[in-house]
Amino acid sequence: MLAFSLVALGCGSTAEGERVAVTSVEQAVATPRQERELARLQRQVERITEGLLFLSESDARFIFVADADAGVTDVTPEAVVSFLSDEHDGRTDLFVPNNPPLAPLAGRPFEVVDADAFFARIIGNLDPADPASRETARRLRQLQRVLERNLEDLTVIRFGEPGRTEVSGQVSLFIVGRTEEGALVGVLTGAIET
């Protein structure tokens, strides 16, 4: 896959004196080594998240997502919309049991959440006396460690607010970061909040 991104280089002006943004197109292409590293990370993440569910009013899977050719320098909601919408929009297998197609990310309200605080909150909500909850907490901590070891700028981006989206209460959560080479990588999960 080949991705193009526009990068602002500065401002220019027209003959009439209006200032306009000057842009160039950068190409980012994953090398075979980068592709192998992403495949290794995907296997690790999928091994950890197999059968793991994000619990809310409807349980959601953890799904590995990546765009090796994104060429991002910052992990932002706009980057997620630009490079990961294809892996999200219309998806029917995020929630258990399967859900209607997910609404497009573009135009949905979003919130950026600190990854450490996110994992602390969801792990803190589990019952430490319950063996299944302890196992879930262990796997969530393992997922966090693997993502932190392999990605820079690990961030949680939450798309959708209850009552303010066309899919009332459905929230898409991306736990994403970037590789040194600029690939946008992480996991997609979700929640139903009413």
Any domain includes 6: no
Nearest-angstrom CA–CA distance, 48 and 69: 25
Any domain includes 100: yes
**Average pLDDT, stretch 132-160?**
96
Q: What is the pLDDT of residues 44-67, one digit of tens each?
A: 999 999 999 998 888 999 999 999
pLDDT category at 192 given cuts 50, 70, 90 is confident
Ranges 20-34, 48-62, 175-189, most confident: 175-189
Any domain includes 3: no
Any domain includes 15: no
Q: What is the CATH number of the domain that holds 68?
A: 3.40.1460.10
Number of domains observed in the structure of the chain: 1
Any domain includes 9: no
Q: What is the pLDDT of residue 28?
A: 55
Query: What domain range includes position 84?
Result: 30-192
**Average pLDDT, stretch 156-164?**
75
Any domain includes 81: yes
DSSP sequence for the chain: --EEEEEEEEEEE-TT--EEEEEEEEEE---HHHHHHHHHHHHHHHHHHTT-EE-SSS-EE-EEEEETT---SS--HHHHHHHHHHHHTT---SBSS--SPPPPSTT--EEEEEHHHHHHHHHHTS-TTSHHHHHHHHHHHHHHHHHHHH-EEEEEEEE--TTSSTTTTEEEEEEEEE-TT--EEEEEEEEE--
Q: What is the pLDDT of residue 99?
A: 84
